[in-house]
Amino acid sequence: MSPLLAFLAGDAQADRVVPPTGFTARLTLFASAAMAFLTVFALALSLATGRLAENWGSALAQSSTIRISAPEGQMEAQVLAVMDVLETTPGIADARVLTDDEQRALLEPWFGPDLPLDTLPVPRLIEVKETPDGYDAEGLRARLAGEAPGAVLDDHTRWREPLVRAAERLRLLGLVSILLIAATTAVMITLAAAAALAANAQVIRVLRLVGARDAYIARAFVRRYTLRAHSGASVGTALGMMAVWLLPEADPGGSFLTGLGFQGTAWLWPLLIPQLAALVAFAATHHAALTTLKERS
Partner 1 sequence: MIEFEQVSYGYSGGPLLADVSLRLARGSFHFLTGPSGAGKTTLLKLCYGELIAQQGRVAIFDRDARTLSRDDVAMMRRRIGVVHQDQQFLDHLSLAENVALPLTVSGRSTTEADLGDLIRWVGLESQRESRPPELSGGERQRAALARAIIMSPDVILADEPTGNVDWEMSLRLLKLMVELNKMGKAIMVATHDLNLIRAAKSQVQARVLRISNHRVQLAGADL
Binding site for partner 1 (CB under 8 A): 13-14, 16-17, 19-20, 202-203, 205-216, 293-294, 297
Nearest-angstrom CA–CA distance, 119 and 67: 18
Q: Measured from the CB of residue 8, what is the shortest distance to partner 1 in angstroms?
A: 17
Q: Measured from the CB of residue 205, what is the shortest distance to partner 1 in angstroms?
A: 7
Q: Measured from the CB of residue 214, what is the shortest distance to partner 1 in angstroms?
A: 6
Nearest-angstrom CA–CA distance, 149 and 75: 11
CB 235 within 8 A of CB 270: no
**Between 14 and 97, whose beta carbon lies closer to partner 1?**
14
- State the pairing for strand pair 124-130/151-154: unpaired
**Between 163 and 203, whose beta carbon lies closer to partner 1?**
203
**Between 210 and 268, whose beta carbon lies closer to partner 1?**
210
**Between 61 and 206, whose beta carbon lies closer to partner 1?**
206
Per DSSP, what are the bridge partners of residue 228? none
**Between 169 and 205, whose beta carbon lies closer to partner 1?**
205
CB 28 within 8 A of CB 192: yes
In Å, how far are 7, 101, 120, 127, 210 from 116, measured between CA atoms?
80, 11, 7, 22, 101
Cα radius of gyration (the chain) = 32
Q: Measured from the CB of residue 243, what is the shortest distance to partner 1 in angstroms?
A: 39
**Between 12 and 268, whose beta carbon lies closer to partner 1?**
12
The DSSP letter of residue 74 is: G
Q: Measured from the CB of residue 18, what is the shortest distance to partner 1 in angstroms?
A: 9
Three-state helix/strand/coil letters over 255-281? CCCCCCCCCHHHHHHHHHHHHHHHHHH
Nearest-angstrom CA–CA distance, 173 and 8: 34
Q: Measured from the CB of residue 284, what is the shortest distance to partner 1 in angstroms?
A: 21
